[in-house]
A and B are shown apart, each in its own frame.
Chain A
Amino acid sequence: MAFIVQATGIDAIKKMLKTKSNITDAFIVALAGNPNTGKSTVFNSLTGLNQHTGNWTGKTVTTAQGKYQFKDKSFTLVDLPGTYSLSSHSEEEEIARNFICFGSPHATIVVTDATCLERNLNLLLQILEITDKVVLCVNLMDEAKRKKIWIDLKKLSKILGIPVVGTSARSGEGLEELMHTVYKLCHNQITTNPIKIKYNEKIEELIQITEEKIAKFTNRKISSRWISLKNIEGDKTFLDSLDKYLGIDSAKILPNEEVDLNLRDQLVSSRVILAENISSQVVSCKKEKEYDFDRKVDNILTSKILGIPAMIALLGIIFWITIVGANIPSTVIAKMLFGLEERLTALSVAYRLPNWLHGTLILGIYRTLAWVVSVMLPPMAIFFPLFTFLEDLGYLPRVAFNLDNFFKKACTHGKQALTMCMGFGCNAVGVIGCRIIESPRERLIATITNFFVPCNGRFPTLITISTIFIAGADVGPLRTVIATITITGIIILGVIMTLVASKILSKTLLKGLPSSFTLELPPYRNPQIGRIIIRSIFDRTIFVLGRATAVAAPAGLFIWLMANTNVRDLSLLDYCAAFLQPFAYLLGMDGYILMAFILGIPANEIVMPIIIMSYMASGTIIELESLAALRILLISNGWTWLTAINVMLFCLMHFPCATTLLTIKKETKSWKWTLVSFLVPTIAGIIITFTVTQISRLSKLIV
């Protein structure tokens, strides 16, 4: 029997994880817990797999898995989505519940927040009703100590009847003991005797009746008490899964009575009260001290008067630091790389390389790559760590708190503020993040409008143009200030456009009212500077730069070939640009720029390099030794401040990149909504640049 149990368990796991890897030889350990308990930090510390952990609800929407070795055994750790409960009102809860129920993990680690144990126990108590192979990991012990909260772990373990380990995953404290405990549990060296929740007489009676009926069908693969409880709750999704994974058709076996809402309340209440009871026995704290610091900070960051200005100021400071800091390294790198270009050219002359080869390799591929690196690397290396810092601190949920009312007025879900923030990293990630929104209508709106916040790939374009062009005329400190204000303004415009587009969609294509939601404001956490730098450099900067160079190299080649293949004195590039010119002119840009955006569909990072390439290849031969030279190049190609503004606006609002579009297709499973996601920002961009251009021209602000 045991063998069959294992086999079905692993099949279920494979099904859930969609994996073909051979995981039969390792112990399977599920990692469950509330959001914001440092669960992902535990996961990363144990497996070394660098999965990004954000300090907000619902970051892990799909399960991640990683391996670790302890003593002679290997363990496969499955990071379940963070949930407060297993009663499945959401996709995340269903994933977590199904894995623990039907995946038959050898052990389950439940990660809890030491500073908020009572609330976390609710989930643990539910898991204990499913399985007794549980280790409780009380994480964030360091935070608790700082907040003067003490937890009697021995007593807790005695009350719960399961092993309890205190950890501070960020510093690695207690993880060795955790692994050891899991090891012993998997080898049956620890016997657990989990606490049973006693419900009132009526419920217990019902449980008994149901248990008797179901017991002979379960083959002891699953707790019949748990099935009975779910049946009383009338949890349909669970009963469906029961059929799907174990072939138990509960509808035929179980009494199908009307769900008694009162009983359901009592079920939950019994758990909550037990959690309160346990927590009061093991937690002691110095009264009211604990929230002081967080509250003081929140008094400023989410206050009526200062909340929104503080948010804008923080954003502004980040951009200012980025712009000021990136200036010098950008110039240095550019000098270096273009110095190298000269040498390469000299070499190719010396070795008598044919002109076309020199052209494609050095003027095409190398030059584009050099631009991508020198223009993009420094701002990214500064911007990403700063943004990750805010993320780690726990500031993003406060952004959602500050902006929620606007989203409510746009008839959308409050979590859209969070998916919008994820979009700052990468729009494709933002789109995937939209899964945390349960209502399909609101999820679609969040998906379609996600592109209105600029991602990693578009920030460098915005930063470059505002630094060298908008602010270029002034010298000194004013220059960076103007650039900062411009970028911050663009971002605010992006947020406003998100809201406007959401509102319009809510009133037209996707009519409806906002659904309910609750937003947790987790405690501020001490960000770990070292980790932030490593993570943002490796996970983000290198990733984005890698993607950009991978796309830029062939694009550079392609552009160079187009620029140098002449038909009747004009290059192919000129023909294309000339074709787009009339339309581009209406939008205050030129044909080359519009073509760069179109060619930039694979990755937005290369839009700026393509523009530069096209200008350089089409006749105006100058040596670009510094960033200041770029300004001269742009001006000599007819750029004015209006062109710069329009390029930035269009960069903010145009068709999403290929990755994002494919992700949207995958998530919505519909070409129609993918097309809508393509059209909405594009139309918005065209209307806005057209309006800005026409007004400026009519009012004779510019010729």
Chain B
Amino acid sequence: MKGKNIPLHMIACGKSAKVKELTTAGSLRRRMLDLGLVNGTIVEAIRKSPSGDPIAYEIRGAVIALRSEEASKIIVDVID
């Protein structure tokens, strides 16, 4: 999927995207920020788990798996 302002879990594997906004508050937001998901961070979708969810992303050099519920709260712009 191409485009701007889309939730992270929608981007195709192998694609990279730039973080624009986190639409969550509280401890989940803190945790995401601690993972380095601040504005402008480049995230790459690496692979889906066998059943399609969660999806593993490369975030600042680490591979982190996020369930679609969480990833959907990260709004990104796809980089071509």
Contact indicator B64/A405 (Cβ below 8 Å): no
Residues of A within 8 A of B59 (CB): 119
Q: Which chain A residue lies CB-closest to B32? A: A518
Write out the residue numbers on chain A whose beta carbons fall within 8 Å of the beta carbon of B51: 405-406
Are B47's CB and A291's CB within 8 A?
no
In the assembled complex, which residues on chain B have CB atoms less than 8 Å from the CB atom of A401?
49, 54, 56, 65
Cα of A268 to Cα of B35 in the assembled complex, Å: 10
When each residue 151-164 of chain A gets 1 if its CB lies under 8 Å from chain B and 0 otherwise, what string results? 00000000000000
> Do B50 and A402 touch (CB < 8 A)?
yes
* Residue in chain B with minimal CB distance to A123: B34
Instruction: Decide yes or no whether A298 CB sits under 8 A from chain B.
Output: yes
Q: Is the CB of A269 within 8 A of B53?
A: no
Q: Does A307 contact B (CB under 8 A)?
A: yes
Whether A521 pairs with B65 at a CB distance below 8 angstroms is yes
| Stretch from A81-89, A190-198, A339-347, A376-384 forming part of the interface with B | A81-89
- In the complex, the answer to whether B65 meets A404 with C-beta atoms within 8 Å is yes
Asked if B54 and A85 make an inter-chain contact with CB atoms under 8 angstroms apart, the answer reads: no
B35 touches A516 (CB 8 A): no
- Cβ of B15 under 8 Å from chain A: no
Residues A518 and B70 in contact, CB atoms below 8 Å apart: yes
Tell me if B4 counts as interface (CB < 8 A to partner A).
no
Q: In the complex, are the beta carbons of A402 and B49 less than 8 A apart? A: yes
Residues of chain A lying within 8 A (CB to CB) of residue B50: 302-305, 307-308, 402, 405
User: How many residues of A are in contact with the other chain, CB < 8 A?
Assistant: 46
The DSSP consensus for interface residues of chain A is helix
Residues 57-74 of B, flagged 1 when their CB comes within 8 A of A and 0 if not, give 011111111110110000
A261–B41 Cα distance when bound, in Å, is: 19
Given A122-B34, A265-B33, A402-B49: A518 touches B65 (CB 8 Å cut-off): yes
Chain B residues with CB under 8 A of A521 = 56, 63-65
B28 contacts A by Cβ under 8 Å: yes
Cβ 8 A contact of B46, one of A268, A295, A405, A514: A295
Tell whether A574 is near chain B: CB-to-CB under 8 Å.
no
| Nearest Cβ on chain B to A297's Cβ, whole angstroms | 12
Q: Which residues of B contact A696 (CB under 8 A)?
A: none
Question: Chain B nearest CB: distance from A397 CB in Å?
Answer: 8
Contact of A408 among B27, B28, B41, B67 (CB under 8 A): B67
Q: 9 additional contacts, CB 8 Å, given A268-B34, A405-B51?
A: A89-B30, A118-B36, A118-B60, A118-B61, A119-B61, A276-B36, A307-B50, A519-B64, A520-B64
28 A-B pairs whose Cβ atoms sit less than 8 Å apart in the complex: A85-B34, A89-B30, A116-B62, A118-B36, A119-B60, A119-B62, A122-B34, A122-B36, A264-B30, A265-B38, A268-B30, A268-B34, A298-B46, A302-B49, A302-B56, A303-B47, A304-B48, A402-B50, A404-B54, A405-B51, A405-B53, A408-B67, A414-B54, A516-B31, A517-B70, A520-B64, A521-B56, A521-B64
Residues on B lying within 8 angstroms of A by beta carbon are 25, 27-36, 38-39, 41, 46-54, 56, 58-67, 69-70
